[in-house]
Chains A and B, each alone.
Chain A
């Protein structure tokens, strides 16, 4: 009797073991997914609730932010800013790798720029000023513009025509009214998003022709708003990534 029952019981026992194994694996998987999901939510909440400058003091939060922010950067920002944050001077995209921050590199400022953009049309966008086409508008003459360029070459410590630079200085502070936006020391004003004109890094390039073109035609750089495209935590993480990436690169270089 026992002998004849054995073959039928074996497959049933094996099936039961398999089912139990599947059930166990499913439960473990569900627990893993659940804890990963909870961890992600907790990380997101911590990143959002912690002050941005406090995040910069906590390596574990920086790591979490970078792991969220870097893929977002590559997906949404690298098209303009370059895969290594190097920007594109031909299009006036700032070199973030060299810390060129028109509106300041405090993470709160960076986050605001990402959220609402620059001259993006969003009501909260950064949109205080534009580089006017001073020559085309007739505010200064082409000769004035060339003189102003010589003055800027002087400020940057580059070879320049001394007499023209002196005339250019007068243009900078009087007729051209350049100091009003670019500051008395020509180091730019982050409140307006006006770039430093003293080099060595420029938004559009520091050569004479590019500078002249800026004064001749004006500039109108833009950055789109991401408030409706990315989640709050993605934007916070992106801001932290952008602020820390150049520092990390500098540390790696040294």
Chain B
């Protein structure tokens, strides 16, 4: 649990992104995440969270990894290693997908971009860059596909929120309306070549912008200046986490892990069977017999007690599961949580459960996921 590590303390071996100096100048409180010293928040998690819901927020995501596959057999390697089928992706189109082991456990979840017929970009979790690369390398070698780790060279900046498109269009000749959801386009932004993708991790409309690491601070600052009068705020990983929790989006290490399959995490829509990919037979068995656990949303009855990752979930006096993520949810002004529970538990909306919080039982109930869906 990264936020339980001593707040504000960062060990010596962690890396810094090219935006480090800018974060400090903006008054960010830093934290360690995925081997990087990253901003936890600038003006406060709640204020940043609300800026993204109501206007826009900008995030440094340079810690995320980028792997590129190049070669005629790139699609074949991806079809064999990823749970979602990339076969129907058009150039510039993206999809959410997962990397699984033979037993169906999840190695990583990622966004796959088709850059061209023989070029694909994988945007992966910072903690899993080396794992993904080493996992994919033997398959790439066998089929003559080049695997390039661009994580150091590429920066990633996200602008998210209902005003994101308006702000982006101030800096670029592109018309954001021409980039559909889960599509990406090459563009010039503040004079630099970028790839702008209409993707995100907040439950809002928005863009994730890949740019050479050397220019990422310029892009970040340009977007910040262009959006100030619209209410745009720089946002840290704290707000990123509360935003994705409200949107019911999984975070690797919480809702997904080597011991949790995509089906258990409720991500069956991103598993395409009948292609013979790694882990397919284990996942097919889970599909046929029903996964043994499922992901649920929950809220505590008093509207104050916060269930945190690792707290145990009970129903009718027996232990049925564990909290995977829980936090105060700023859009709802009360705590919300997700958890993995055994399938035998009653997981209907409103079903009573309890969460063990500091050796006491806190009454709670099941709430459908996602908690938040944008209306605009």
A binds B: no
Residues of chain A whose beta carbon lies under 8 Å from any beta carbon of chain B: none
